[in-house]
Amino acid sequence: MRRSLREAAVGLSILAALAVASGLWLHLRGHRFLGADWSITVRLDNAAGLVPRSTVLYRGVTVGTVQSIRTEPGFVAVEAQISDLELVVAQPVRAHVATGSVLGGTAQLVLSGSSNPLTTPRPPTAEDCPSAQQLCAGDVLWGAQGPTLDAAMASATTLLDRAIDLELLDTLDLMAQALLNTNDSINTAADNSNILIQSLQDLVQRLEPTVDHINTSAASITKITGHLANVSEELDRPETMAKLRQILVNVENATDQFTTQAETILSNVESFTTNLDQIGSDIRGITSDPAVADGLRDLTVGLGLLFQDLYGAERLADPKGVEETPEP
């Protein structure tokens, strides 16, 4: 009895191990027993890098795997199995193949949709799922191939051939030479700028005394302005204006007095001139008489003889040269 139980336990353990291994194998193959996954089909011109069990991404999150890849006339049909039953992707939905690097490697199928939220989203497996508004189970999408090294090399080759046809290489050579010349010009301009800066610094040093004088003059002007402001303030005072008016009245009175005195002096001068003219007329009348002239001449001669007898002729000729003789 015990032996039978032991054999039964061993048999059940083996069956359980086989069941677990079979389930794990079927799970790795993409089969699900408890879930209700839904699938979509993506048509690609080139499915390079995609293999069964490749990851399906939406906004960087894994939402499923690639179930199968088959070739059709004119395209490659990729069936993707989505494991997220609540996944809502607003139309328009796009799919493209993205590789881990430009050099290739395992590719991923990336889904992208509109960023506008849906007002009434429905489960993608529902019978009334609106395919015009969101991604639903069984939808067929057209995808695109992501950048690969082959595509990059092909594009580079095409561009190079196009450049050769348009003689762009010679143009680029000329542009490079022009850039070198421009660099030389820039260097020369930089040197000239340094010389100009040095000249400006020398000019600033020479202008410093002038600036000091200007500052001094500005200070003097400020001081004068302050004095003028004080004078203006003083002139605004009624007492100062009254004094100025009194000074003007005094000057006017003095001017009138001076004018009166000047008129009196001029009158006196005119009277004196008239008297001089009368005296001159009298003198001319006296000297015009011959008898008077002869009398004056005789008087002069007589006075001369008198002085000659008193002092002598030599003393009269040179009064300083004749020595005085001492009295005995």
Measured distance CA(309)–CA(70) in Å, rounded:
180
List, for residues 137-151, the tens digit of each pLDDT value: 988 988 886 665 556
Instruction: Please give the C-alpha separations between residue 58 and each of 50, 95, 103, 105, in angstroms, as whole numbers.
Output: 16, 10, 23, 20
pTM score, two decimals? 0.39
Q: What number of other Cβ atoms are within 10 A of residue 75's Cβ? A: 15
- The better pLDDT of the pair 163, 90 is held by 90
- The better pLDDT of the pair 148, 54 is held by 54
- The better pLDDT of the pair 53, 152 is held by 53
List, for residues 108-140, the tens digit of each pLDDT value: 889 988 888 888 888 888 888 988 888 899 889
Cis peptide before 92 (omega within 30 of 0): yes
Report the share of the chain in percent with pLDDT over 90: 5
Measured distance CA(220)–CA(200) in Å, rounded:
29
Question: DSSP string of 271-313?
Answer: HHHHHHHHHHHHHHHHHTSHHHHHHHHHHHHHHHHHHHHHH-H
pLDDT of residue 328: 43
Mean pLDDT, range 287-309, rounded to an integer: 76
Identify which of 132, 51, 138, 131 has the alpha carbon closest to the alpha carbon of residue 97: 51
